Structures are given as C-alpha cells and as structure tokens.
Amino acid sequence: MKKLPLIEKIYVEKGAESYKITNSLLQSFHPIIPQTVSNAEEAFADLAKTSEDPIGEGKKRLFIGKQNGAFLKKCPGTKKMVCCNYYVLNIATQCSLNCSYCILQEYFQNNPILKVFCNIQDCFAEIDQLTHSKPKGIFRIGTGEFTDSLALDEAAGFSSELIPYFQGKENLILELKTKTTKIANLLKHKNVGNIAIAWSLNPDPIIEREEEGADKLEDRLDAARACQENGYKIAFHFDPIILYPGWENGYRDTVQKIFERINPEKIVWISLGGFRYRPSMKNMIRERFPESGLLVGEQVLCEDGKMRYLKSLRVEAYRKIAGWIKSHGPSLRVYLCMESPEMWRKVFKKAPMCQEKDDLLFDDE
C-alpha cells in the first residue's frame, strides 16, 4: 500500500461531517481525531500560533470543508501570453508535496493549510452549464492547478467521484496532473478514453534537490505505463524547466525514458514551461530552501511581472526539448505554457489560434 501524506492534524468544518469524501479522509488518517471548526480561518488561526514555518506546517494539516464559491473557472492566463483555454476544477488548495519552486507556497501563504472540498459533486452542475452554453466546444478541465491531483486521491477518492461523470462525454477531457504514483483508484475504472493522466517531469537531479515528497522519475513513468495499459490517455508537463549545469543531458535522458515506456500514440500533449516566479517569492525560496539551486543563473523581470530566464536561453531550451520529443513522435502535440506569441513563433514558427477562440483546445494539426 502506498504511503499516505504526512498529516498530523485534521479540521472539519461544521456541516461537512456527513460527506463521503470527509468520511473517506477520516478513515484513511485514523486514529487522528478531527477538530471541528467554523471555517478555514479558524483553522489557520490555530496554525499561526503554533508554528514558525506556517507554510511547511500547513502541509501537515488538513482542513475538510465545503466549497461555497465556484468549483470551475477558466484559467486566467497571463497578460500578453498565449492561453490554451484550460479550465480549472478547484477540488482542493495547497499541496502535501514540498517543491521549492511551487507558486502555491506564495499564493496561499496567508492560509497555507491543505484544504479539501468535500461537496465535489456540486461541481457537475457547473460543468453541465458550461457545455450546454457551447454545445460544439471541446473543453479540457483539470484539477492540478491549485493542488496535486492525485497526492490525496487514495485517501479522499476524488477520482472515483469525477471519472464516472466525465466518462464517455465527447466534448469533455478530464486531466489529472501529478508528481506521484497514487493510481490505485484510477486502475479500478475502464472505458476511460477521454480521461488524461498527466505527470509533471524533471530530470533526476532536480527531483532529488527541488521536489521534496514527490516520487522518482522512473516510478512516475512506470505509473504512466500502468495507466496507459488501463486505457487512459497520457500527458506530460516539463514545467518548470530548470536550467542547471548539465540540463541538456538531463532533459534529453528524461525524454528518452518516456519513450522507453510509453506509446507515443497514447500521449495527447506535452507542455513546456520555463521556471518563473514573482519577485516577492525570491526571499521565500531562500528562507525555506537554502540548499536550492533555483536562483542561480541569469533571470530577468519580464513584462508579465515574473522573473524568467533570458529569452535566448528559453528559446534554446524549448527548441531542444521539443526536438527531442518530436524525434520520438513527429506528430505529438507539444505546446508552450505561459509564453508569448513571439516565443511560439521563435520555437515553432507559428502561434496558435486558440488565443483568438475561447472554446478551441488546440489548433488542428
């Protein structure tokens, strides 16, 4: 049995006690006795008075409550950057993994407790409304924007709620994105042709140094192969790409390992995105991860307000990694995440039309 995330304390919001996901989590983390609270702010107040590192400590504390706002939101993208029209399904916030580069540590620094929304079935009406508003659209919906999609799945059972709803809907694609191997619940389902399981990948030196709590590269790829054999579509995300000494060999070897295990015809997309962060996150990385090598190298403030590698370095990395991928599967769909039309043209000689039509997933090949 896979090792569960390290959870030391659980808070349950009043009114959330009877939900299936709540009961599943409490059973999984037995014998922890939950503390009943009125809201997430009350849980955070308890955390703030007991910890010098609330962000790190927050990953060990679980809040179970209801989502009172919208579950489904269109990815806001970034001004002047190409957006792939992704829709975010917000089933949880924060992550039990502890990656040094993770933007969530800054996004949720004012309430860093790991939150799970127990009323997940309420999201289906929102998705129905979206698809009915554009019957001819095709929508990619993912749960991995504000959390790891599978890190808590074996404890909470998110996928067992989501997959039966999405199965067979030709205008919907569900993407579950992870750095783990927690696929036990996934393998219980068949006829999953419109479900994509995606792994964020980096070379072994980056995983070992910057991705605390995440599974090893080869273990992720073995999990991907098991999902492929079960009928799932597979996706990969090289994001963030980190330019460390020897990065070319590292990323080339990582690409090689993918195609030693995965049939290119089962891969629906691979994204490339460079390491980027807001300047305010620099001190957080230095304080929380003093051994990190993330801040080494030439990085500049770009027009989207984020620090990035120099444009010439990004172009070189994207071209090389995309080239290695295409050498294994010439027809594979490779795209850039949060980059400008200019960058797309430098790498692929064209920019996609999805920027101009909000229900277009990708350009036709």
Domains of the chain with bracketed CATH: 9-355 (3.80.30.30)
Q: What is the pLDDT of residue 85?
A: 82
Find where tokens 């990948």 sit. 201
CA distance 182 to 143: 15
- The structure tokens listed for 51 are 């910890």
Pair 13, 66: CB distance under 8 Å:
yes
Give the span between the Cα atoms of 33 and 156, in whole angstroms. 17
Radius of gyration of the chain, Cα coordinates, nearest whole angstrom: 20
Give 289-296 contacts, CB < 8 A, sequence gap 24+. 289/100, 289/210, 291/209, 292/100, 292/209, 292/210, 293/209, 293/210, 293/244, 294/100, 294/101, 294/210, 294/242, 296/244
Residue 361 is predicted with a pLDDT of 52
Could you tell me the CA-to-CA distances from 25 to 21, 29, 67 in Å, in that order? 6, 6, 16
Distance between CA atoms of residues 316 and 180, nearest Å: 29
Q: Specify the pLDDT at position 48.
A: 84
Who contacts 257 (Cβ-Cβ below 8 Å, separation ≥6)? 217, 218, 221
Q: Report the distance separating Cα 293 and Cα 206, nearest Å.
A: 9
What are residue 86's DSSP bridge partners? 140
Instruction: Give the side-chain half-sphere CA count within 13 A for 129.
Output: 9
For residue 179, give the nearest of 200, 198, 195, 149 by alpha carbon. Answer: 200
C-alpha–C-alpha distance, residues 217 and 12, integer Å: 35
Query: E strands within 38-171?
Result: 61-65, 72-74, 86-89, 92-93, 98-99, 114-117, 139-142
User: Maximum distance among all alpha carbons in the chain?
Assistant: 57
CB atoms near residue 40 (< 10 Å): 17
Extended strands (E) in 1-138: 9-13, 35-37, 61-65, 72-74, 86-89, 92-93, 98-99, 114-117
Closest CA relative to residue 309, chosen from 239, 243, 249: 243
- pLDDT at position 364 is 44
Q: How far is CA 237 from the centre of its chain?
A: 9
pTM over 0.75: yes
pLDDT in tens, 227-237: 999 999 999 99
Mean pLDDT, consecutive 10-residue stretches, the chain (365 aa), reads 76 98 97 96 88 87 96 81 87 96 94 96 97 91 96 97 95 97 97 96 98 97 98 97 97 98 96 96 95 91 93 97 97 93 94 59 49
- Residue partners of 152: CB distance under 8 A and separation at least 6: 5, 25, 92, 96, 114, 116, 158
